[in-house]
């Protein structure tokens, strides 16, 4: 579960440093709220939701203090195929930069549906949104992403 | 033309039956739509692939254990051979403590709320095995346990300071406990959804394997050594 949580953090923040910070904050908050998790319900959805709430809080307090976000850094990889790793790393950097340009409400649905592989209904439930809102944000988000990726 | 939302719902596999067939026919008749579908499929694939490299990136080892539910069964030796390629970029003990606490909270329910009978207790700031988990770690041998035992003992091994550690699995969790004085201190505790079937002496799920990998010195004890260690009260080996 943790690697997936970290992946979602990368999608949500579009920033490597923020992603690791967010993962940590999320685990901490999940710890404090652990009594609220109901056995038999999906642990991943519960954690995704906590992570998203943490990120909203972070974004809010940043907007207040008018802090500038740290630029995304090259992602470090450990692997046995340096070429493939490097390509993947460049792709991730490029895609994170594009994701960063998206409004947060589009970025989160792109992250949940296209990266985490959740269904529309699951995503709508997790975000407490009507399914139509999820699909319209998804259209705008991925259309903008594709345009950015094509521009290079 | 069909509306964009429906088209994307098709791309994402959200459509079924008649609606799906209708979109498919529409795409088949329209080269511009075909191009669009292909581009968006490629984009989705690229996003998936690029972001999934995060999954293989060095994750703090103790934390990676929370992913056991979908971890494949791997051989311990294979895991250990990967040791050199891994590195931990985050502070281990911090993460380990948080993750263990999270899982303990989820499993035990009342563990930290004064419950006296749970399998995990906090003692002097450490998580230690208690009740039936402690009993199993004290007495159960991997070589003689039966499938109906509530606790499965995996590997018994020594860590670098000579202390005995044992990996174990229960229905909802697995972990490693190391002997500290007269108690079993939990070094890692992982949430799991389903126990993998198989021989725990040889194969273990990725989460435990990583934990063990980070602790073990030398080889795991065999059945006879395990029995001898129990007879010696799980006392630490004298290190040279």
Note every long-range contact of A123-131, with CB atoms under 8 Å and residues 24 or more positions apart, other chains counting.
A125/A45, A126/A45, A126/A48, A126/A49, A126/A52, A127/A52
Q: Is there a contact between B216 and B159 (Cβ–Cβ < 8 Å)?
A: yes
CA B4/CA A140 separation, integer angstroms = 10
Taking CB atoms and an 8 Å limit, are B47 and A114 in contact across chains? yes
Query: A95: nearest CA in chain B?
Result: B47
User: Using CA atoms in the order B137, B153, B97, B158, what is the torsion angle rounded to 10 degrees?
Assistant: 80
H helix count then E strand count, chain B: 9, 8
Query: What is the reported pLDDT for B57?
Result: 65
Among the partner residues B46, B48, B54, nearest to A3 by beta-carbon distance: B54
CA distance B130 to chain A (A): 21
Average pLDDT score over residue span A84-99 = 77
Task: Name every chain A residue with its beta carbon within 8 A of the beta carbon of B52.
Answer: 7, 115
As given in the structure block, the two tokens for residue B171 are 């229905």
Q: Helix (H, G, I), strand (E, B), or coil: what is residue A49? A: helix
Query: What is the reported pLDDT for A16?
Result: 85
Residue A31 has pLDDT above 90, yes or no: no
Question: Could you tell me which residues are beta bridge partners of residue B167?
Answer: B176
CA B205/CA B190 separation, integer angstroms = 11
Taking CB atoms and an 8 Å limit, are B50 and A95 in contact across chains? yes
Residue A80 has pLDDT above 60, yes or no: no
Q: Helix (H, G, I), strand (E, B), or coil: what is residue B153? A: strand
As given in the structure block, the two tokens for residue B36 are 């669009």
As given in the structure block, the two tokens for residue A32 are 């404090």
Closest CA to A73 of A14, A9, A6, A2: A14
Q: Helix (H, G, I), strand (E, B), or coil: what is residue B150? A: coil
Task: Name every chain A residue with its beta carbon within 8 A of the beta carbon of B65.
Answer: 2
CA B12/CA A117 separation, integer angstroms = 9
3-state SS of B94-133?
Answer: HHHHHHHHHHHHHHHCCCCCCCCCCCEEEECCEEEECHHH
Mean pLDDT of chain B: 72
Choice among B30-34, B163-167, B195-199 with the minimum mean pLDDT: B195-199
For chain B, what percent of residues have pLDDT higher than 70? 60
Q: Is there a contact between B172 and B189 (Cβ–Cβ < 8 Å)?
A: no
Among the partner residues A34, A77, A119, nearest to B102 by beta-carbon distance: A34
Closest CA to A75 of B86, B57, B87: B57
Among the partner residues B4, B46, B63, nearest to A2 by beta-carbon distance: B63
Q: What is the pLDDT of residues B51-63, one digit of tens each?
A: 988 877 665 443 4
Question: Could you tell me which residues are beta bridge partners of residue A106?
Answer: none
Query: What is the reported pLDDT for A91?
Result: 83
Residue B145 has pLDDT above 70, yes or no: yes
Q: Helix (H, G, I), strand (E, B), or coil: what is residue B166? A: strand
Q: Is there a contact between A74 and A68 (Cβ–Cβ < 8 Å)?
A: no
Among the partner residues A1, A2, A77, nearest to B53 by beta-carbon distance: A77
Task: Name every chain A residue with its beta carbon within 8 A of the beta carbon of B47.
Answer: 95, 110, 114-115, 145
Q: What is the largest CA-CA distance in chain B?
A: 79
Sign of CA dihedral B142, B143, B145, B147: positive
CA A7/CA B55 separation, integer angstroms = 7
Average pLDDT score over residue span B101-121 = 52
As given in the structure block, the two tokens for residue B22 are 């209708």
The β-bridge relationship of strands B126-129 and B120-123 is antiparallel
User: Which residues between 22 and 81 in chain A have a beta carbon less than 8 angstroms from any beta carbon of chain B?
Assistant: 27-28, 30-31, 34-35, 37, 39, 43, 75-80
């Amino acid at each position: 579960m943790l690697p997936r949580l970290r992946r979602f953090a990368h999608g949500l923040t579009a920033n490597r440093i923020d992603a690791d910070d967010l993962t940590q904050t999320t685990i901490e908050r999940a710890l404090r709220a652990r009594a609220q998790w109901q056995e038999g319900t999906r642990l991943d959805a519960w954690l995704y939701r906590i992570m998203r709430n943490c990120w909203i809080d972070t974004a809010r307090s940043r907007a207040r203090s008018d802090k500038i976000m740290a630029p995304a850094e090259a992602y470090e990889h450990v692997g046995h195929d340096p070429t493939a790793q490097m390509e993947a790393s460049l792709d991730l950097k490029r895609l994170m930069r594009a994701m960063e340009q998206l409004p947060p409400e589009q970025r989160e649905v792109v992250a949940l549906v296209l990266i985490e592989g959740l269904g529309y209904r699951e995503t709508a439930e997790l975000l407490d949104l009507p399914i139509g809102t999820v699909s319209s944000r998804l259209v705008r988000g991925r259309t903008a992403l594709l345009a950015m990726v094509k521009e290079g | 033309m069909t509306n964009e939302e429906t088209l994307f719902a098709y791309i994402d596999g959200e459509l079924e039956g008649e609606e799906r067939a209708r979109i498919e026919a529409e795409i088949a008749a329209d080269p511009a739509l075909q191009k669009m579908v292909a581009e968006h499929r490629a984009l989705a694939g690229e996003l998936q692939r690029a972001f999934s490299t995060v999954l293989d990136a060095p994750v703090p080892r103790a934390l990676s254990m929370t992913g056991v539910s979908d971890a494949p069964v791997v051989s311990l030796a294979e895991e250990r051979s990967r040791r050199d390629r891994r590195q931990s970029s985050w502070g281990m003990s911090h993460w380990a403590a948080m993750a263990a606490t999270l899982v303990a909270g989820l499993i035990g329910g009342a563990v930290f709320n004064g419950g006296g009978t749970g399998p995990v207790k906090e003692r002097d700031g450490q998580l230690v095995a208690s009740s039936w988990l402690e009993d199993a770690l004290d007495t159960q041998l991997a070589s003689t346990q039966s499938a109906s035992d509530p606790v499965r003992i995996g590997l018994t091994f020594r860590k670098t300071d000579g202390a005995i550690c044992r990996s174990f699995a229960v229905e909802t969790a697995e972990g490693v406990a190391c002997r500290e004085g007269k108690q079993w201190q939990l070094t890692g505790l992982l949430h799991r959804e389903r126990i993998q079937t198989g021989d725990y002496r040889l194969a273990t799920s990725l989460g435990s394997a990583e934990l063990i990998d980070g602790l073990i010195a030398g080889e795991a004890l065999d059945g006879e050594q395990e029995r001898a260690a129990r007879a010696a009260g799980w006392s630490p080996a004298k290190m040279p």
